[in-house]
């Protein structure tokens, strides 16, 4: 049994102060990171980190990017251990913020008043480690690659998933001018230029779906009230994250409006925008991942049935 030192009252207070200071420093680093991203050419690299960690908050993505920009898959020490991997000796953890839901009863202020249960979320600093910092059992490959020419069944599955998650139709038409697609607020539908490559079609679909999720007039999101250039940054950012997540070429992506959009904006407004971009990206990547996983499983089952039928035929002419 491991021996634990009993802390004195003074040591406990010092420990609490140390943890409080660390939390303050982490939040400060997030704010500094947000400023640096918008004031430099780091925005695209930050989105690339976001594409790898769609289930992490925008703030935690910032902390990961600042501490280990080449990270590709992170987990806590215990999680790596459960997967049959061990954190290498001497590795330093990546400090991020873990949400800790809590319930607290408010004491009655006057006699006979009922106590009220209050709920909220606090944060705790925790360490995670990138897969490159671990050794052990090989991990299963879950990432679906949509690079190159996409199979027709995959294209259908992805587009159906996008229509389902946005709850609006996606149609293909001949669009006048040099326009790849658009989201119609009035008609509440997405239109994509017919005849484009598979990759361009998908990236356009991601972009227009982002407009629906972030800028629909029926939502109460702060991004709905942004100006036109800001909305284009939002949508293009989401499209970049989703495309990068699924291995589509993102070299042509650029963000010419980024400096003008962020200039003079309050830090909390920029943080909210990044959070909404991350949320929309998560919704789309989850929907596409689930659709591709279901398709893959269906194809495996079909192949199994076909193999069994072939085996039956091969034995049909043999006397038993």
> pLDDT digit string (tens) for 85-131?
999 999 999 999 988 776 666 655 555 556 666 666 778 889 999 99
Give the pLDDT confidence score for residue 307 in this predicted structure. Answer: 56
Give the pLDDT confidence score for residue 207 in this predicted structure. Answer: 96
Instruction: Give the pLDDT band of residue 319 (cuts 50, 70, 90).
Output: very low
Give the pLDDT confidence score for residue 223 in this predicted structure. Answer: 83
- Residue with tokens 């680093």, as numbered in its chain: 29
Q: Do 156 and 203 belong together in one domain?
A: yes
Confirm if 130 and 73 have CB atoms less than 8 A apart: yes
Please check whether residue 255 lies inside any domain of the structure: yes
Number of domains into which the chain is organized: 2
Give the pLDDT confidence score for residue 116 in this predicted structure. Answer: 61
**Tokens representing 306?**
């076909």
Instruction: Give the pLDDT band of residue 211 (cuts 50, 70, 90).
Output: very high
Please check whether residue 112 lies inside any domain of the structure: no
Summarize pLDDT for 287-310 with one digit per residue, the tens.
Answer: 999 999 999 888 888 776 555 555
Smallest CA-to-CA distance from 56 within 216, 249, 245 is with: 245
CA dist 274 and 40 (Å) reads: 16
Instruction: Give the pLDDT band of residue 5 (cuts 50, 70, 90).
Output: low
Say which residue, 282 or 220, is predicted with more confidence.
Answer: 282
In order, the DSSP letters of 143-203 are: PPP--SSPPHHHHHHHHHHHHHHHTS-EEEE--SSS--EEEETTTTEEEEETT--HHHHHH
CA dist 183 and 198 (Å) reads: 19
Confirm if 288 and 162 have CB atoms less than 8 A apart: yes
Q: Do 270 and 214 belong together in one domain?
A: yes
Q: Do 27 and 82 belong together in one domain?
A: yes
Count the neighbouring beta carbons within 10 Å of the beta carbon of residue 252. 7
Using alpha carbons, list the distances in angstroms from residue 87 to 53, 82, 133, 139, 218: 20, 12, 6, 14, 47
Give the pLDDT confidence score for residue 3 in this predicted structure. Answer: 54
Q: Do 161 and 301 belong together in one domain?
A: yes
Please check whether residue 226 lies inside any domain of the structure: yes
Which residues contact residue 205 at a Cβ distance below 8 angstroms, ignoring those fewer than 6 apart? 158, 159, 162, 170, 181, 190, 192
Please check whether residue 145 lies inside any domain of the structure: no
**Tokens representing 250?**
């993102």
Count the neighbouring beta carbons within 10 Å of the beta carbon of residue 289. 17
Give the pLDDT confidence score for residue 1 in this predicted structure. Answer: 44
Q: Do 191 and 124 belong together in one domain?
A: no
Report the mean per-residue pLDDT for the chain: 85
Domain that includes residue 39, residue range: 9-103+119-132
Interhelix angle 9-38/267-315, rounded to 10 degrees, is 90
Please check whether residue 35 lies inside any domain of the structure: yes
The model's pTM is 0.82
Say which residue, 257 or 185, is predicted with more confidence.
Answer: 185
Confirm if 132 and 92 have CB atoms less than 8 A apart: no
Q: Is the pLDDT of residue 53 over 70?
A: yes
Q: Do 294 and 162 belong together in one domain?
A: yes
Say which residue, 3 or 298, is predicted with more confidence.
Answer: 298
Q: Do 158 and 302 belong together in one domain?
A: yes
Average pLDDT over residues 135-139: 92
Q: Is the pLDDT of residue 228 over 60?
A: yes
Q: Is the pLDDT of residue 146 over 90?
A: no
Q: Do 196 and 125 belong together in one domain?
A: no
CA dist 119 and 76 (Å) reads: 26
Give the pLDDT confidence score for residue 309 in this predicted structure. Answer: 52
CA dist 154 and 144 (Å) reads: 10
Q: Which region, left, alpha or beta, applies to residue 230 given φ > 0 means left and ψ of -120 to 50 means alpha?
A: alpha
* Least confident window among 8-22, 26-40, 199-213: 8-22
Please check whether residue 176 lies inside any domain of the structure: yes
Instruction: Give the pLDDT band of residue 165 (cuts 50, 70, 90).
Output: very high
Instruction: Give the pLDDT band of residue 220 (cuts 50, 70, 90).
Output: confident
Q: Do 190 and 240 belong together in one domain?
A: yes
Please check whether residue 314 lies inside any domain of the structure: no
Interhelix angle 198-215/267-315, rounded to 10 degrees, is 130
> pLDDT > 70: what percent of the chain?
84
């Amino acid at each position: 049994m491991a021996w634990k030192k009993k802390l004195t009252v003074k040591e406990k207070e010092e420990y609490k102060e140390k943890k409080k200071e660390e939390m303050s420093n982490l939040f400060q680093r997030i704010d500094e990171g947000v400023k640096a991203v918008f004031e430099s050419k780091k925005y695209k690299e930050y989105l690339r980190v976001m594409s790898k960690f769609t289930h992490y908050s925008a703030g935690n993505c910032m902390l990961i990017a600042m501490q280990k920009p080449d990270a590709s898959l992170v987990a806590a020490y215990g999680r790596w251990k459960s997967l049959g991997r061990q954190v290498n000796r001497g590795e330093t953890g990546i400090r991020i913020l873990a949400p800790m839901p809590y319930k607290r009863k408010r004491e009655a202020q006057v006699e006979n008043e009922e106590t009220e249960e209050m709920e909220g979320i606090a944060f705790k600093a925790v360490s995670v480690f990138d897969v490159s910092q671990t050794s052990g059992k090989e991990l299963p490959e879950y990432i679906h690659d949509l690079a190159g020419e996409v199979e027709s069944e995959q294209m259908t599955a992805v587009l159906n998933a996008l229509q389902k998650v946005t709850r609006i139709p996606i149609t293909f038409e001949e669009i006048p001018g040099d326009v790849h697609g658009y989201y119609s607020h009035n008609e509440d539908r997405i239109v994509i230029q017919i005849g484009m490559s598979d990759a361009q079609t998908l990236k356009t679909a991601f972009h227009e779906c982002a407009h629906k999720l972030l800028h629909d007039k029926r939502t109460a999101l702060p991004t709905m009230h942004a100006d036109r250039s800001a909305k284009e940054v939002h949508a293009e950012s989401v499209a970049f994250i989703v495309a990068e997540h699924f291995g589509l070429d993102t070299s042509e992506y650029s963000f010419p409006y980024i400096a003008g959009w962020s200039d003079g904006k309050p830090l909390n407004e920029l943080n909210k925008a990044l959070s909404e971009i991350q949320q929309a990206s998560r919704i789309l990547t989850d929907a596409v991942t689930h659709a591709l996983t279901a398709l893959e499983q269906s194809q495996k089952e079909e192949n199994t049935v076909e193999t069994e039928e072939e085996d039956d035929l091969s034995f049909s002419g043999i006397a038993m």
